Amino acid sequence: MKMKIFTALFILSLGATSAFAQTGASDGSRFGHGEDSLRCLQNISIYTEYVKTENYKDAYTPWKTVFTEAPWAQVATYTNGAKILRWFIANEKEAAKQKTYFDELMNVYDQRIKYLDKLNSIIKNPQTEGEILGMKAHDYYTMGGTDVKTAYNMYKQCLDLEKSKAEYFVMTEFIDISSQLVKADPNHKEQFIQDYLLDSSLADEAYNNAKPAKKEQMKQTKENIDAYFINSGVATCDNLQSIYGPKVEANKTNLEYLKQVISVMQMLGCTEQDAYFEASEAAHAIQPTSATALGCGYMYYQKGDLNKCIDYFDQAIDLESDNAKKADISYKTAVILLSKNQLSRAKSYCQKAISLNSNYGKPYLLIAQMYAQSPRWSDEGALNMCTYFVCIDKCQRAKSVDPSCTEEANKLISTYSRHTPKDEDLFFLGMKKGDSVTVGGWIGETTTIR
């Protein structure tokens, strides 16, 4: 009798265990309950060992069971699942099966996002939706995705979420995808430019914030982004004119759009196009800035109105807050004045540039070229040739404060050295090497004979 009762209780207990066996997917638990939880843990152990030995073929079935029945058992379900499915895609010869594995891989990322909050609750370093989207975009792009627009949207969404924290490969592949869209659809040109500006600025920010070990990687990323832009064929002044020309008139009161046009065209040196002039004038009327004043200045230079041109350049200098940029505008003003043979005024703007940025070599070189252009200040030919000593002084100064000018400075020094006076010419004037001589006229500088 006792044996019958015991047998009955045992059968009941088995029934109860079966009744309470539930998967994590069905009851929301991490591993499930009862027999399902035991099977889940067993499958995790099995597929993990297979993954460690790169036996992805045998890892697939136990992994897929965990993925389906216990979606937030562990983050490794997703990282290992991606490894397993990448292997199947790479090694599968049959296109239909390869596509099935590819769809499963995309589903790995979708499910991971779906259970992201729960998965983050069981790890020390939570991940973001943007990070996962970046990995999904990368796998879509490299493992068989065929719709360029779909890839583009995934990368774009990742960058919108992650900003400069996005992985370097996301930034590089995004601009690559965008350049592919340009080749397929010319209407994507303006968006491609905006994509480049966004991507480039994020890469710059990432580089500035990168730890030393990551600096070189981010530097290379920025160079790759620039290369995609340059090689796209979009980065020409004629293209920018055709893109922006028809739209500036329609956006004359849209300051943000006008600023974008000005910024892009300045960046690419397209400051002689009508779109640049029109955008600058319209923006300057709404909100005067250094950039809009420059645009107006260039416009009046093209029209031949030097006075208005210089007036706008002066405004640009006054409106600019960064001294290095103020110095650059001053230098550009000097170049314009030199082109009109206004040497004395050009010199004063070079001196202004130097006062604003003591490490700026170009103004010194420009002064040297001005002096060399007008060496006659005396009736004595030998004294006139002493002007070239001053030119050499300026070139020496340029490369001492700004190493980037060294090559150009050395070329000019070599040229000017051939025009300095001979010893015998100076002898008849009672002068010799080591003596000081003051170059007169508008130059008014003292130098040493050598």
Residues spanned by the domain of 121: 20-127
Residue recorded with tokens 């044996």: 3
Q: How many helices (H) and strands (E) does the chain have?
A: 24, 2
- Quick check: is 87 in a domain? yes
- Quick check: is 183 in a domain? no
- Quick check: is 52 in a domain? yes
> At 437, phi and psi to the nearest 5?
-140, 135
Contacts of 268 (CB under 8 A, 6+ apart): 235, 237, 240
The predicted model gives 255-266 an average pLDDT of 90
Which residues are paired to 22 by β-bridges?
33
pLDDT at 20: 52
- Domains in the chain, number: 2
The predicted model gives 384-412 an average pLDDT of 96
Quote the CA–CA distance of 251 and 289 in Å, as a whole number: 18
- Quick check: is 415 in a domain? yes
- Quick check: is 96 in a domain? yes
- Whether the per-residue pLDDT at 428 is higher than 80: the answer is no
One-letter amino acid identity for 188? Answer: H
Q: Where residue 260 falls among pLDDT bands split at 50, 70, 90?
A: confident
Query: pTM (2 decimals)?
Result: 0.64
pLDDT at 21: 67
- Quick check: is 252 in a domain? no
Kind plus residue range of the DSSP H or E element containing 372: helix 362-373
**Domain end residue (candidates: 127, 144, 175):** 127
One-letter amino acid identity for 4? Answer: K
pLDDT at 398: 97
What Å distances lie between residue 444 and 79, 440, 441, CA to CA? 74, 5, 6
Calculate what percentage of the chain has a pLDDT beyond 70.
Answer: 95
**Domain end residue (candidates: 60, 92, 127):** 127
pLDDT digits (tens, 9 = 90+) for 10-30: 333 334 344 456 898 999 999
Quote the CA–CA distance of 10 and 32 in Å, as a whole number: 23
The predicted model gives 144-154 an average pLDDT of 96
The predicted model gives 288-296 an average pLDDT of 93
- Whether the per-residue pLDDT at 165 is higher than 90: the answer is yes
pLDDT at 79: 98
pLDDT digits (tens, 9 = 90+) for 41-79: 999 999 999 999 999 999 999 999 999 999 999 999 999
- Quick check: is 73 in a domain? yes
Q: What is the mean pLDDT of the chain?
A: 92
The predicted model gives 105-131 an average pLDDT of 97
Q: Where residue 206 falls among pLDDT bands split at 50, 70, 90?
A: very high
**Domain end residue (candidates: 127, 151, 175):** 127
pLDDT at 272: 87
pLDDT digits (tens, 9 = 90+) for 229-249: 989 989 899 989 999 999 999
Cα torsion 322, 323, 329, 333: sign: positive
Q: What's the DSSP call for residue 147?
A: -
CATH of the domain at 427: 1.25.40.10
pLDDT at 67: 98
- Whether the per-residue pLDDT at 421 is higher than 50: the answer is yes
Greater pLDDT, 382 or 9? 382
The predicted model gives 206-218 an average pLDDT of 94
- Joined together, the tokens standing for residue 148 give 């360029």
- Quick check: is 352 in a domain? yes
Quote the CA–CA distance of 297 and 87 in Å, as a whole number: 60
Residue recorded with tokens 């340059």: 230
Calculate what percentage of the chain has a pLDDT beyond 90.
Answer: 83
Which residues are paired to 263 by β-bridges?
none
